[in-house]
Structure 1
Amino acid sequence: MKNILLVCGTGASSGFMAKNIRQAAKARNIEIGVKARSDSVVEDYIEDIDLLLVGPHLSYMLHDLEDIAEPYGVAVQIIPKDAYGELDGDAVLDFAIPFLKD
């Protein structure tokens, strides 16, 4: 099973997004783990994930997050603004899948 960590400033909006991604994955019979946390705890989870998805409002942190993730081979991507704003779990799942391939 692949694991995704979503981060936003406090973990609140990403919590709703994580739930919607889990629902979208379940509807498609895709086994995936999705957690949402604050950006301040990324280092606590980085060893256990395959993809780090970042809220678009935190795009200024991209390089710092890539520096944290790179030693673990974890991809870091900014969630598309429209999908994030609409809490569109299907769209974010579609966006994430290519980054989860082995």
Structure 2
Amino acid sequence: MRMLASSVLVMESFTMGFALLIAMNSSDTWELAAGALLAILLLLAPGLLKRKSGWVIGSVLQIPLIAYGVVITMMYFLGGIFALLWIAAIVVGRAGEAARARLTPQ
């Protein structure tokens, strides 16, 4: 479950980095700073997935990712796709862990 969720968070970070390249031409300094902070947080978040608080942080970071659509309109779409991927990572990961628990003798 952590591997899939980590992959989603890292890809979100790269996407924010590319969005910052687009935003450099038409955005204010605070918008770029907020985007850079979000990209850094998304890159650091996979390290926190060992604890439950990491999953909460990863879930909360989906909101500003979508909200960055105010700066780069395409981020509404990309943020929504990544939020769905984040939910899928949680659901599929839990199903995989449940299947592994059933197959592993205790």
Common fold: TM-score over 0.5: no
Larger helix fraction of residues: 2
TM-score (norm 1): 0.33
